[in-house]
Amino acid sequence: MPRPTSVPVDGGPASCFDHEVLAAVLQVRQAQVHVLLWRRARPPHAGRWALPGGRLGAREDLEASISRQLAEKVDVRDLSHLEQLETLGAPHRMPTGRTLATTYLGLVPGDVEPAVPDDTRWQPADDLPRMAFDHAAIVEAARRRLRSKLSYTNLGFALAPARFTMSELATYYRAALGHEVDATNLQRILVRRQQIEATGERIGSGPAGGRPASVFRFRSPTLQVTDAFAVLHPPAR
């Protein structure tokens, strides 16, 4: 078991705190944002759903620890994006004793299907089951971060497949932002911000006919700020 963190309090003797890392791993599935949860088998909060993670190893840095635990506990090894979200330190957030938590936002592209254990499920973020501890609030913080980053960065690359039509990409943005997104307007914005580019491919029309759809891709598979002051607003009513 890793040693608890020793932290001086108000100039007095050091107090010992546990330190855990947790990840809200999000994916757009069936046009909705889902979060990866596992059902706790032991008290406290046995039977409730929780975010994957656990105690920080004594010789681990934070990101290495959450990456290891996602791989070992829920078999998620290839995230398209992982970033630190916030640190939680409320004295009574854990009934077992003072525990600091460093939380992460992780993203999985919509065309990837990780093999997860039997006690793990993708749950709709809009309809969470009964959650353990403060994990529901962490999910909401992750969703806020995702919505914010989609407005001024190219983070859509982490939600969508490597190649997509604009109709498909609009579905991912619509799910993540929580409001209607017009594919034509989205194309205009993302092309202007130099986030996406046409591949030159086209997808043939379906049974209903119509013009073949152009295929696009994100120009970079890593996070970039493309418009620091931009906001993707919901449509006016």
CATH numbers and ranges of domains, the chain: 5-142 (3.90.79.10), 153-218 (1.10.10.10)
Can you give the pLDDT at residue 125?
98
* 3-class SS of residue 54: strand
pLDDT at 76 over 70: yes
Can you give the pLDDT at residue 217?
98
Can you give the pLDDT at residue 104?
98
pLDDT at 47 over 80: yes
pLDDT at 79 over 50: yes
Q: What is the pLDDT of residues 149-175, one digit of tens each?
A: 999 999 999 999 999 999 999 999 999
Share of the chain above pLDDT 70, in %: 90
d(Cα 78, Cα 230) in Å, to the nearest integer? 29
d(Cα 39, Cα 73) in Å, to the nearest integer? 12
Can you give the pLDDT at residue 12?
45
Assign 59 a pLDDT band (cuts: 50, 70, 90).
Answer: very high
User: Stretch 208-228: mean pLDDT, rounded?
Assistant: 89
Assign 145 a pLDDT band (cuts: 50, 70, 90).
Answer: very high
d(Cα 173, Cα 159) in Å, to the nearest integer? 8
d(Cα 153, Cα 130) in Å, to the nearest integer? 33
Can you give the pLDDT at residue 17?
84
CB atoms within 10 A of CB 131: 20
Q: Which residues pair with 130 in a beta bridge?
A: none
Assign 16 a pLDDT band (cuts: 50, 70, 90).
Answer: confident
Average pLDDT of the chain is 91
**HSE toward the beta carbon, residue 220, CA cutoff 13 A:** 13
To the question of pTM greater than 0.95 for the whole model, the response is: no
Least confident piece of the model among 112-116, 121-125, 127-131, 147-151: 112-116
